[in-house]
Amino acid sequence: MEEKQRIIVVGAGPVGSLAALYAANRGHDVEIYELRSDLRDPSTTPLNFTRSINLALSERGINAMRHAGQPKLIDHVMGATIPMRGRMLHLRKRNGGLAEESQDYDAHGRSILAIDRGGLNKRLLDILEEMPNVKFFFNHKLTRADLEKNKAWFHVREADSSVQVDFDLMIGADGAHSAVRQQMMKFTRMDYSQQYIDTLWCEFQIQPRENGSEADPNNKFRISPNHLHIWPGRNFMFIAIPSEDGSFTCTLFAPPAVFAELEADLKGSQLVEFFDKFFPGVTSHIPPPELIASFQQNPHLPLINIKCKPHHFSSSAVVVGDAAHAMVPFYGQGMNAGLEDVRILFNTLDKYATTEAGTTPASRRALALNEYTAVRTPDAFAINDLALQNYVEMRASVLSTSYRLRKAIEEALSVYVPWLGWQTKYSRVSFGNEPYSLVVAKSEHQAVLITRFSALATFGGAGLG
């Protein structure tokens, strides 16, 4: 039987909340320290987000919640999602008309799910609140930690004072600018890299139709609810993800230079022209005054890619989620990967939990955390890289013939010759639980085979010619 431990979780975002749930289910005393006030308090503004944003939830995130030991969590989550079975590309025809092209994500009809990030986070906090071994400390900011003495110091906003907390294990789920990671760097030789990509993002909304559509008065969606909509623009793109109320959360991704040019035009007419030129049809869903107001009022935020190794220090601290591997959002995997971290971390801790002569909880935890870093860092690096590459795919490659051809070949093989085990990279990432690094290796192997096969076919064809 595993001894009860005092586990503190820093950060009550989706990943920290799930980590707290896993720890609490194992009977530990769990304390959650969060910089901001309670997300469920309507006056709290979510960090970095203007309003509650929608995310793509997929198998890895769902699987992590499935194993949290709380069936009501997964029931609630699945009930609050909208399936998106593919991308809907919005294009302009040669004659100037509008065209839509649906590209399914998966040959077997599987979908990713649109979910309200705030709603998911609140649900996790509600479940934690009912657990007797969980305590919340909102408005507590981690300022310092001594990871050799297992002590942490938090600034308490209301009292403007500092409190000292002792712990067995500190789980850092405090996001991209993690204080836990910074403290860990003082104690361990951590390799660390961060990259701001040459892109900013800004959020917009497509409002629901008030009276539904002509065909269906109950349908409040202005565009298909079962797609992730993309207006590809080569160097920039606009996307839309459905919400349960019939609205869409939309995001413009573009280089800072483009933002600067659009910001310089105070009246915003250039913005409307820019949208009409590159994102056909958007201004018929978002009236120009709303488009301009969103661009002027909502923040223009950077995108960061962070890699670090190790993810832990000794037996006392570990980072998960964005704190360990913030990534650009183009594979829709940031939160999914973070939730998966939690499942893998606790599986590894469980593996070393059994009491054995000559070991202590701390010595077993140290072995588990060591293994966790060894197993998880190659996968964190792999998904960070895939996310960067997918930006090119979403805004440009989706239009190319070679991309469509490879997708068609791989999907045909996956459906008609299933025993070969072929799948597209996207399917492996979004609908499976194989380690990300294995997905990359398998996908590279498939690419080599396709290239060889194409060369043979071309050579054979020329010979026959």
> Binding ligand FAD by CB under 6 A: which of 113, 315, 329, 342?
329
Q: Does 56 contact ligand FAD by CB under 6 A?
A: yes
Three-class secondary structure of residue 60 per DSSP: helix
420-437: burial string, b at 16+ Cβ within 10 Å, e else: eebbbbbbbbbbbeebbb
Among 7, 8, 9, 12, binds ligand FAD (CB under 6 A): 12
For residue 404, how far is the Cα from the chain centroid?
Answer: 25
88: CB partners within 8 A, 6+ apart? 100, 101, 102, 103, 223, 224, 227, 228, 229, 230
- Does position 47 bind ligand FAD by CB under 6 A? yes
Q: Is there binding between residue 336 and ligand FAD (CB under 6 A)?
A: yes
* Strand locations in 149-287 (E): 151-156, 161-166, 169-172, 191-206, 227-232, 237-242, 248-254
**For residues 216 and 214, what is the distance between their CA atoms, to the nearest angstrom?**
6
310 preceded by a cis bond (ω within 30 of 0): yes
User: Which of residues 33, 279, 346, 391 is near ligand FAD by CB under 6 A?
Assistant: 33
Q: Which residues, 6+ apart, have CB-to-CB distance to 360 below 8 Å?
A: none
| Smallest distance, ligand FAD to C-beta of residue 387, A | 9
Which of 20, 89, 173, 272 is close enough to bind ligand FAD by CB under 6 A? 173
Q: In whole angstroms, what is the distance from residue 348 CA to residue 360 CA?
A: 16
Based on CB atoms, which residue is closest to ligand FAD, 5 or 298? 298
Choice between 238 and 352, CB closer to ligand FAD: 238
Binder to ligand FAD among 7, 10, 120, 271 (CB under 6 A)?
Answer: 10
# binding residues, ligand FAD (CB under 6 A): 31
With CB under 6 A as the contact rule, the residue among 7, 9, 14, 254 that binds ligand FAD is 14
By CB under 6 A, is residue 64 in contact with ligand FAD? no
305 part of the interface to ligand FAD, by CB under 6 A: no
User: Of 142, 152, 254, 342, which lies in the binding site for ligand FAD, with binding defined by CB under 6 A?
Assistant: 142
Beta carbons within 8 Å of 269's beta carbon, 6+ residues apart: none
Interface segment toward ligand FAD; rule CB under 6 A; list 28-36, 63-71, 75-83, 387-395: 28-36
Q: Does 172 bind ligand FAD (CB under 6 A)?
A: no
Reduce the DSSP state of residue 47 to 3 states and report it: coil
Task: Characterise 96 by phi-psi region: left (phi > 0), alpha (psi -120 to 50), beta (else).
Answer: left
Residues near ligand FAD (CB under 6 A) are 10-16, 33-36, 47, 55-56, 141-142, 173-175, 179, 201, 251, 321-322, 329, 332-336, 338
